[in-house]
Amino acid sequence: MKLGSQWHPVVVSKAVSEFLRSYLTVVWFGLAAFLVAGLLLGISALVRPNNPNREKMLTYESGVDPVGDGWSQSQIRYYVFALLFVIFDVEAVFIFPWATQLERYAGFGLVEMGIFVAILLLGLVYAWRKGVLRWV
């Protein structure tokens, strides 16, 4: 750091130095990953054949010739099932780590997870009774 015309060294503790050195490894690996990815993309752009034609520019739908308009409106009933899927998927994200630590939290954790699952099941029963899950 320069104050006036004199230079004063910045003193960093050994713990901070080790902390920054551990992140320096991550930075090096990140730079190496970007370098390798850029190098591979550059090489592939240089060696690939470039023969555009009308056939190659057509839309491709999983090996089937496209039929009809490319845009279609999805019905709102898919939204409810997607929302329920997300809710129960998040439930699974909470239950799996909890199950690995079940012995650690004993009764309290069991009661807490029971309340969590009961609230979700109550919402599912409510949706079922309202007829939201009826497809037709």
Cβ atoms of 84 and 127 closer than 8 Å: yes
- Pairing of the two strands 2-3 and 6-7: antiparallel
- Cβ neighbours of residue 58 under 8 Å, at least 6 residues apart? 66
Mean pLDDT of all residues in 40-59: 86
117-132 pLDDT tens trace: 999 999 889 988 998 8
Phi and psi for 109 in degrees, rounded to 5? -65, -35
The whole-angstrom separation of Cα 80 and Cα 128 is 11
Average pLDDT, the chain: 83
Helical residues (DSSP H) of the chain, grouped into ranges: 14-47, 77-100, 102-130
Residue 53 has pLDDT above 90, yes or no: no
Per domain, the residue ranges of the chain are: 1-50, 73-136
Residue 2 has pLDDT above 70, yes or no: no
User: Homologous superfamily of 73-136 in CATH?
Assistant: NADH:ubiquinone/plastoquinone oxidoreductase, chain 3 (1.20.58.1610)
